[in-house]
Every structure is written in C-alpha cells, then in structure tokens.
Amino acid sequence: MIRYLDFKDARCKDCYKCLRECPVKAIKVVDHHAKIIESRCILCGHCTKVCPQNAKSVHTERAEVEKLLSAGKVIASVAPSFVSSFDLQDFSVMKLALGRLGFADAEETSVGAREVTAQYKKLLEGGTFKNFITSCCPAVNTMIELYYPKALQYLAPVDTPMIAHAKMIRKAHPDAKVVFIGPCIAKKREAVESGVVDGVLTFEDLSAMFEDKGIVLSEIAHIPLKKAGSVNRAKYYPISRGIIKSFENYIDGYEFVAVDGAEKCKEVLENIDSLSGMFIEMNSCDSACVNGPCSLALKAGALKANADIRKYVNKDLTEHASAAYEPEKDIDFTCVHERKRTEDFVPTDRQINEILAKTGKTKPEDMLNCGACGYNTCYEKAWAVANGYANIDMCVPFMRERAESMSYEIIQTSPNGIVLLDTDLNILEINGKAKELLGIKEYDVKGKGIFHYFNPTDFVLAVNDNKNVYNKKVYLEKTGCYIELTIIVLKDNKGTYAVMKDITQETKSEEQLSKVKLETLATTDEVIKKQMRVAQEIASLLGETTAETKVALLKLKKTLQDGGEK
C-alpha cells in the first residue's frame, strides 16, 4: 500500500489532537499512537498542520522525481499558488530555477484550470444540474465519494486542473514525463490513480531541492516571457472564490458561492438536497489552496497570499492580449466520480450499547459528548471502539471518574487514618479512620484547618523544611490513642498528606508488659529479701543450737572425766 503520510511514534502518545481535528475521523489509536486509516483518509493534510509534536509528515517523492530527472525529459506543472509560497510575481523565474534542477520545461497548472472552467461553463449552460459542486479539490472529491454519495449527482464530472494540464502536456509532448508541484497532499493519491502524472513534489520538497542546489530565486534575473494568447483568469484558482472569478460571466439560474474548510464543506454536503440553483466552489483548506498543508509559511499568512495572487492575476490581465480563448477540442476532460466505500464494520445497536455501558454510559444523561477522546459524540467513540479504531480507556471523563472512585475507595477503606491537606493546612480529604483517631464527630470537615483537631507543628515543620516525616510516635490526648505519624510533602509544595497508623493496642500491650515486668521484679525482690531473712534466721538458729550443744557436750565431758577419777 502506498503511504502518503509518515508518523513518528516516539513523538505521538495519547494526544488525540489530530483525531479531534480530522474532519472524517480517519485516524485510529494503536498502543497510544495515532495511525492513519487509509481507507477513510481524504488526505486533506489537516493533521500534519495541527500536530503539536510534528509527529506527522508528508511522505516525499523527491528521490523518485530525481530519478525521473536523471533518466529523461520531465515537464513540471506548477500550481498557481507558487506565487504566494515562493513570493514571486514572475513565472519565468520559477521556470529558470526548475531548469537548473533538470526539468526540461515548466508550465503553470492554470493552463489546465482554464480548460476546467470552460468545461464547467458548458455543463452549467446545459441547465441539467440542480446544484453544481466544483471538482477541483481532490480532497473534497474523495470526501463526497466516501461519505456523501447523495452529493455525487452534483459533483462536476470534470478533471481537476492537475489532470487536465497533464493530459495537455502529454498530448504536446508524448515522450515526456509529467511532475506536478504544489501545496497539496491529496494530489499524490490522485496522481497515482490517474496514470497521467508521474510524480508529485510539494512546495516544501521543491524548497529543499532549491536549497540543496544553492538556487536562490531572488538572485535569478528576470527574463520576459512572450505575452501571447488570451487572458487566463484561472490563475485566480488558488484563492477563495478563485474558481468563481475565473468566469468572465456568471451563468443565469445559479447562485455562485464559495465554501472553504473541510468542516464547512461537510455542513453543506449534509444538507445538499435542501439547496437548489447553487454553484458551490469547494475547498478542503481554509482560504483555499494558498493555505494548503504543504504551502510555505509566509508573514501575514493567507491574507497576504490572497493579495499576492490578486496582484499577479491583475498583472497578467494587463499584459496579455484580450483575444478570445478557444478550449481544447481533442482532449477528453471528463471524469466519472464513483462511489467509494470504507472498510468499516457496522456494529449493531446492542453492540454499541454494550460498549457504552463499559464506560458507565447507560442513560442519555451519561453521554457527555465532551469530545476529549477526539470523537464528537460518545456514540461515535463507541462505533470506533467496535471497529478497533479506539480504546475504551480513551474516554477521559470515565477514566478520571474511575481513578477518583478507586482513590476514594482506597482512602475510605484503608485501615490507617489518611488526611490530605492543602498549602494552608486545610483539610481536602479525610477518611473515617482518621476521624475516629482524632475524635472528629462532624460529618463534613473539608476546608477546615487541621489545627482544630490536631497539633499542626509537625506539618508546619515538614512544609518549611520540605522534608517528610516517617513513623513518628504521637499520643492523641483527646481519644487516648497512640499513632505512628507519616507526613509526605507533595511535589512543588502543593500540600501534604498524612498517614496515621493506629498503634494503641501495641502501645498498651507494651505498657502492660512493662507493668507486669516491674511487678514481677518487685515480687522477685521481695522473695529474695524474704529468703535472705529466712536464711539469716536459720543461720542464727543454727548458731544458737550449735553453741548450746557445745556447752552441753563440754559439761558431759567434764562429768565423764570427773566420774573416772573417783
């Protein structure tokens, strides 16, 4: 499959801005990265302009074109918006610069645009169109072919200026290759499908090629070109109402209006059947082609670009002869616009409702349609999920609600007391356990200062020192509880939160154990003292008995001795 847009995954993650801005939701999110849905994309290029990370870029065909230039004769068809992008008022300068790059010749695409206007005029004069939509913008053409089949009957069956001009070049130079140069991405796909354009360079590509070759347009000398032929009012094409201004006279029976920007085009196409007698010039880019996705940024933007084109055309109108223009007769500029289909899956209402239910959307009032996910409605988002283009978790309100719900449940069911304070030490959140520990009886204390219920000294010191407090033992006099207090200072001093672990039972158990130990020690000491007294008493008694025994034995000895002498 040919790729027209390139992505840099490293720079693209969970942004959804391109999805929000895409007029046809041709972007899917895979692994948090945006990807183009080729079958849905109209190549308006809007995503490349709005991406804040520059993650999306236009695939360049520069290498392929350079091969063509080195291989043979190549003629460039240059979009008329070159005037504003390159700040030129003379096509001869562009022609000479392209010659230095190797192009055999260069012509303005407005030559083909003039043929397109002639074809429009012929069809309008036939009076068969209820409404008439211009076919010059390939992005608009694809939008109608894919998404607004009812409007196909109003879409002009005429080639775009690029294709018309390529056919003219091929007729005049059968041996040449044709390369279109312009500000449009959609031209790349159109060129491939047409078979008459061999390559496409964007203005950004061309600018890079000039720079690499050292070609400075302002230094190229002006060489007057022959001003023969009739006036070409089709050089107005790249500005809003430019196609309309290419008509010398309006066709009776039609109101000529211009619609710029994909969203405005969608609005008109959705209501096309309610209109009648409208000639509608449609451009997918705001301010038309001068503001194309690959146009070169200049000061004052589209306003100056518009003025530059008008100045260029007025100069052309003055310098050219006013001879009548004769349209080509031997080239068929007819284009049949056929219905195209995406590869989308069509989910049933039941499947949609099941997907919606997964994000908590079961009633109409649940459908916030906030657009944060990139889709306009919750229903569209559910359709994208069913097709694999989006994920459930892309719903920001749902994810936030789930996160808040989970956080709330974790806080409220925690066995520890939890308190969240703002920078002024006012309570933002507090759970039931914290209220119990602090002895708070009030139902709602949010917004009240923590000092009403707790000595704030530790919090103040933690904030002032920007230093956390861990597992500090604190006695709560009001409730008689003991806690281990941990205070965490939030990043950038956005507040603090505290965790209070109830250690009352452990502390009381320790105190009881200490009491038992002390009582046991006291008892032991008393027992020892008693034992010492008993021992002393026993010793005393033993001493007295021994003395008495000695006395008695001495008396007995003496008696025995006395008796033996007689």
What type of residue sits at position 55? A
pLDDT score at 6: 77
DSSP single-letter state for residue 370: -
List Cβ neighbours of 533 (8 Å cut-off, separation of 6 or more). none
pTM: 0.74
pLDDT score at 409: 73
pLDDT score at 321: 60
pLDDT score at 507: 85
Q: How confident is the model at residue 549 (pLDDT cuts 50, 70, 90)?
A: low
Residue bearing the bigger pLDDT, 428 or 307: 307
pLDDT score at 436: 92
φ, ψ dihedrals at 466, nearest 5°: 50, 45
8 Å CB contact between 167 and 196: yes
d(CA 48, CA 41): 13
8 Å CB contact between 75 and 105: yes
Burial 392-406 (b: 16+ CB within 10 A, else e): eebbebbeeeeeeee
For the cut 90, the answer to whether the pLDDT of residue 33 exceeds it is no
Q: How confident is the model at residue 56 (pLDDT cuts 50, 70, 90)?
A: confident
d(CA 109, CA 105): 13
- Picking from 30-34, 220-224, 229-233, 253-257, which range would have the lowest pLDDT averaged per residue? 220-224
Q: Give the three-class secondary structure for 516.
A: helix
8 Å CB contact between 22 and 257: no
DSSP letters of 262-331?
HHHHHHHHHTGGG--SEEEEEESSTTGGGG-TTSPP-TTHHHHHHHHHHHHHHHHHHHS--PPP---SSS
- On the 0-12 / 13-18 / 19+ scale of CB atoms within 10 A, 62 is middle
Within 10 angstroms of residue 389's Cβ, the number of other Cβ atoms is 24
Q: Give the three-class secondary structure for 498.
A: strand
Compute CA distances 195 → 103, 166, 186, 367, whole Å. Answer: 20, 10, 15, 47
Q: How confident is the model at residue 55 (pLDDT cuts 50, 70, 90)?
A: confident
Q: What is the pLDDT of residues 480-528, one digit of tens each?
A: 999 999 999 988 778 898 999 999 988 888 777 777 777 777 777 777 7
